[in-house]
Amino acid sequence: QKEVEQNSGPLSVPEGAIASLNCTYSDRGSQSFFWYRQYSGKSPELIMSIYSNGDKEDGRFTAQLNKASQYVSLLIRDSQPSDSATYLCAVNTDYKLSFGAGTTVTVRA
């Protein structure tokens, strides 16, 4: 079983819609959770971090964490063409960051 799994995508959404990304993790001891955005040919850019159960909102992004279900999600509201990228879920367990395979999102103008 992979440590971090993401819905594989690709995900195509129209401009202005909500993009929903999901991630599950295998280790119940994991304590910190992150979403990174990576444009083609660039390095990962941190967009959200979440440490406790519930929702965390930052602009058009909302991260949700449910430790009981070992589930993390990211919602992108009012999607823009500039949101087209690969989104990586990352989970920190025992001071090591493990990444999911990534979900490629395309926002159609």
Partner 1 sequence: DTEVTQTPKHLVMGMTNKKSLKCEQHMGHRAMYWYKQKAKKPPELMFVYSYEKLSINESVPSRFSPECPNSSLLNLHLHALQPEDSALYLCASSLGTDGEQYFGPGTRLTVT
Q: Is 38 exposed, middle or buried (0-12, 13-18, 19+ CB in 10 A)?
A: middle
Distances (CA, A) of 2 to 24, 32, 51, 54: 10, 17, 21, 24
Among 8, 18, 66, 97, binds partner 1 (CB under 8 A): 97
Give strand pairing partners of 97. 92
Q: Does the footprint of partner 1 cover residue 7 (CB under 8 A)?
A: no
Q: Does the footprint of partner 1 cover residue 45 (CB under 8 A)?
A: yes
> Residue 25 CB, nearest distance to partner 1 (Å)?
13
> Residue 26 CB, nearest distance to partner 1 (Å)?
15
Which spans of this chain sit near partner 1 (rule: CB under 8 A)?
31-32, 34, 36, 42-46, 49, 88, 90, 92, 95-102
